[in-house]
Amino acid sequence: TWSTVPAGPPDPILGVTEAFKADKDPRKINLGVGAYRDGQGKPYVLTSVQKAEALVDGSKPDKEYLPITGHAEFTKNAIKLAYGADSAPLKAGSIAATQSISGTGALRIGAAFLARHYPHAKVVYLPDPTWGNHIPIFRDSGFEVRKYAYYNPATIGLNFEGLKADLLTNAPEHSVVLLHACAHNPTGVDPTPEQWKEISDICKQRKLFPFFDMAYQGFASGSTSRDAFAVRHFVSEGHQIALCQSFAKNMGLYGERVGAFSLVTADPEEKARVDSQLKIIIRPMYSNPPAHGARIANTILSSPELYAEWETEVEGMAKRIIDMREKLYNVLTNDLKTPGEWGHIKSQIGMFSFTGLKKEQTVALAQKAHVYMTADGRISMAGLNSNNINYFAEAVSGAVKG
């Protein structure tokens, strides 16, 4: 029956983990997937999460189904974290929201909702480059996927002129525009607040629909409110945005799959109609979401003490990454005199650095040095620590020097 099914390629990101696991060399390093590691290279379970989990377990919750849109209190607290307690549509009760299977699930619900209800052409503009999974999520949901200029390889920075030209002239009115709210994946290059303001104006002028993916709130600057700048600015300018949230990175709840999808609507009555349609989208997809992770996240978000502890831990993770950026830059340039300009390692933001390494170099690094990264030259900075950073820098320097 399945004789005509072609073999597919490994996933560009999760396939790197598979290759890493198959490698038996003790020096191996996995800088592929964006998952935080502590200073010893180990997965990190946040102390605030451990405490919240103990409280959840202690309350001996039942194992009943959650409602279709999930844990209502968690969702309320999640959107408060993103939009801010003062947000006008939040206070007005006009944000439709649902719990989701982390960020990917939020994106999929959002894309499916827009595919069914957005009253314009189903065309989405994604930044070039973007997180690899954005493309199939929107394509499989029935969207035509196009790109807008984002990254300039020559400056290893933002191609702001190209971005503006694409959104001002190339994207037809009412196109959906996907924006990484902070810590752009894979480049680590974010617009400045001033540039965000211009992007907001352009979206307004050209009637573009802003669809935010916020997978790293807290990871860019160490502050969850600073990282929400773009989202909050757009909303304060009156944009009725879509927003995808993930608690995988900032709470380290990767396997729990905790996230939220929300849409700003005109008023509570419109919100109620949108909520009803979100349920109709979700029910045949997976019926209702898992409870455990949402209970943990909600315990943190609703307890002032745990919340404060969590914010400190997020800041700590962001700081360790910034520290690794500094060290990697110093070893590559000062110690190893690696040819080229490496300042971007320090200036890029969030979990990733877009090194500028070519695909052939990434293949050679895996084969010869047992160092794994995605083929676009992206490294997860969180995979580096004081035990492996010198080995990594020497391998990169060797690859660059040829």
Point out the residues that are catalytic.
131, 213, 249
**Of the two residues 258 and 274, which places its CB atom closer to ligand LMR in the complex?**
258
Give min distance, CB of 139 to ligand LMR, in A.
16
**Of the two residues 33 and 231, which places its CB atom closer to ligand LMR in the complex?**
33
**Sign of the dihedral defined by the CA atoms of residues 226, 230, 231, 237, in that order:** positive
Binding ligand LMR by CB under 6 A: which of 30, 34, 150, 159? Answer: 34
Site for ligand LMR in 99-128 (CB under 6 A): none
**Of the two residues 89 and 350, which places its CB atom closer to ligand LMR in the complex?**
350
Binding ligand LMR by CB under 6 A: which of 13, 46, 182, 375? Answer: 13
DSSP H helices in 333-388: 344-347, 359-364
Give min distance, CB of 34 to ligand LMR, in A.
3
**Of the two residues 93 and 136, which places its CB atom closer to ligand LMR in the complex?**
136
Site string for ligand LMR, 184-223 (x = CB under 6 A): -x--------------------------------------
- CA dist 363 and 361 (Å) reads 5
| Closest by CA position to 259, among listed 228, 289, 239 | 289
- CA dist 282 and 111 (Å) reads 12
36 touches ligand LMR (CB under 6 A): no
Give min distance, CB of 185 to ligand LMR, in A.
5
**Of the two residues 41 and 162, which places its CB atom closer to ligand LMR in the complex?**
41
How is residue 314 written in tokens?
């997020």
Q: How many residues bind ligand LMR (CB under 6 A)?
A: 6
Binding ligand LMR by CB under 6 A: which of 20, 74, 131, 261? Answer: 131
**CA-CA distances (angstroms) from residue 223 to 35, 82, 229?**
19, 12, 10
Rg (CA), the chain: 21
Give min distance, CB of 85 to ligand LMR, in A.
28
Site for ligand LMR in 151-190 (CB under 6 A): 185
How is residue 353 written in tokens?
């650095």
DSSP H helices in 84-178: 88-92, 102-117, 134-140, 160-165
**Of the two residues 333 and 355, which places its CB atom closer to ligand LMR in the complex?**
355
- The answer to whether the beta carbons of residues 29 and 371 sit under 8 Å apart is yes
33 touches ligand LMR (CB under 6 A): yes
Burial 166-195 (b: 16+ CB within 10 A, else e): bbeeebeeebbbbbbbbbbbbbbbbbeeee
Residues of the shown chain interacting with ligand LMR in the complex, contacts defined by CB under 6 A = 13, 33-34, 131, 133, 185
